Amino acid sequence: MELCDSAAISLKTRTVIDEGKFDMELLPAGTRFTLSFEYMVLEKGLSANITEYFVAALSALESGEIPIGKRKRRGFGRCHAENWSVY
């Protein structure tokens, strides 16, 4: 983990809030970890559409279109997936 200093900003005044300093714990760039999903079809009639959406979500994660974690609009949380396996 890495620590990143930050400060709370007032939405009204757009200035730093007194005693608004805080630290964020971040994973360093290049960190790799295993991620797994379990997809269960409970009703056969619904499986075609849901499977299509699930595959679309996995594809978006693979291409880096889905950020994970906090402060995504500030550039944190960028990630991508690779080497998918389906069992």
- Per residue in 21-34, pLDDT tens? 878 787 777 888 88
Provide the residue type at 59 as one letter. Answer: S
Q: Tell me the mean pLDDT in the region 53-74.
A: 78
45's tokens = 């009639």
- The token pair that represents 85 in the structure block: 């396996």
Per-residue pLDDT at 74: 66
Tokens for 32, please give them.
Answer: 């790799």
The C-alpha atoms of residue 61 and residue 78 are separated, in whole angstroms, by 10
- Digit-coded pLDDT (tens) for 28-63: 778 888 888 888 777 776 666 777 888 888 888 888
Give the DSSP per-residue string, the chain: -EEEEEEEE-TTT-SEEEEEEEEEEEPPTT-----------SSGGGHHHHHHHHHHHHHHHHHT-S--SS-GGGTTT-----S----
Percent of residues, the chain, with pLDDT higher than 90: 0
Which pLDDT value is given to residue 72?
A: 63
| Mean pLDDT score across all residues of the chain | 78
User: Which is more confidently placed, 10 or 46?
Assistant: 10
Give the span between the Cα atoms of 13 and 85, in whole angstroms: 50
* pLDDT at 48 (0 to 100): 65
